[in-house]
């Protein structure tokens, strides 16, 4: 298993291949459907986002409230296909990785290749286990969206698989 620290460098991304098991540590941003719509409203109006996209990792998830002594509650991936219409533009703006579950389109694959970026798959149904890998959770944008707000998560040893790489390969097509 490869151990990588976020944010990923271009060298990190280019070292990854579809099917690689990876352990991530560092900072990710959460964003689901509603947050993506809000991000695009900002971009379409030419407004600065309240967080940086360049070299960021977006986890398609919404953390549940934390139990006492925990930084976060359950935090499992949502279906990535729901973000397909948003992903290429975000990769073009400097996002270098996403985490979700399930297959994504050829258009997303092309944007990964064009931008030297990567899509990681997390295990659906394992949200309670992923919650234990979150050291800190902070809502940083769009709090009115509640569970779909953007959170900044500090993660440690967060297990994922390279689902789609910067070379156009996909575990879903092997």
Could you tell me the pTM of the whole model?
0.96
Token reading at 171 = 């575990």
CB 99 within 8 A of CB 77: yes
Is 59 part of any domain?
Answer: yes
Q: Indicate the pLDDT class of residue 76, thresholds 50, 70 and 90.
A: very high
- List 101's β-bridge partners, or say none: 79
Is 158 part of any domain?
Answer: yes
Is 169 part of any domain?
Answer: no
Looking at residue 126, what is its pLDDT?
Answer: 86
Q: Which residue from 152, 141, 163 is spatially nearest to 42, judged by alpha carbons?
A: 141
CATH number at residue 92: 3.20.130.10
Report the C-alpha gap between 91 and 20 in whole angstroms.
21
Q: Which residue from 28, 30, 27 is spatially nearest to 142, judged by alpha carbons?
A: 30
Q: Model confidence over 36-70: pLDDT tens digits?
A: 999 999 999 999 999 999 999 999 999 998 889 88
Mean pLDDT of the chain: 96
- What percent of the chain is predicted at pLDDT more than 90? 90
Q: Indicate the pLDDT class of residue 128, thresholds 50, 70 and 90.
A: confident
Is 171 part of any domain?
Answer: no
**Which SS3 state, helix, strand or coil, does residue 147 take?**
helix
Boundaries of domain holding 38: 2-164
Is 25 part of any domain?
Answer: yes
Is 116 part of any domain?
Answer: yes
- How many domains is the chain built from? 1
Is 103 part of any domain?
Answer: yes
Is 34 part of any domain?
Answer: yes
Residues with Cβ within 8 Å of residue 68, at least 6 apart in sequence: none
Q: Catalytic residues, which ones?
A: 36
């Amino acid at each position: 298993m490869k151990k990588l620290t976020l944010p990923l460098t271009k060298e990190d991304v280019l070292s990854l291949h579809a099917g690689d098991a990876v352990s991530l540590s560092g900072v990710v941003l959460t964003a689901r459907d509603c947050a993506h719509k809000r991000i695009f409203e900002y971009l379409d109006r030419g407004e600065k986002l309240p967080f940086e996209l360049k070299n960021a990792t977006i986890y398609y998830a919404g953390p549940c409230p934390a139990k006492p002594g925990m930084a976060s509650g359950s935090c499992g991936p949502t279906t990535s296909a729901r973000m397909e219409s948003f992903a290429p533009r975000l990769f073009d703006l400097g996002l270098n990785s996403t985490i979700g579950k399930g297959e994504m389109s050829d258009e997303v694959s092309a944007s990964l290749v064009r931008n030297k970026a990567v899509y990681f798959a997390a295990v659906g149904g394992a949200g309670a286990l992923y919650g234990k890998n979150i050291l800190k959770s902070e809502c940083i944008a769009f709090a009115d969206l509640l569970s779909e707000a953007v959170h900044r998560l500090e993660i440690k040893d967060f297990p994922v698989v390279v689902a789609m790489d910067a070379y156009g390969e996909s575990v879903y097509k092997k």
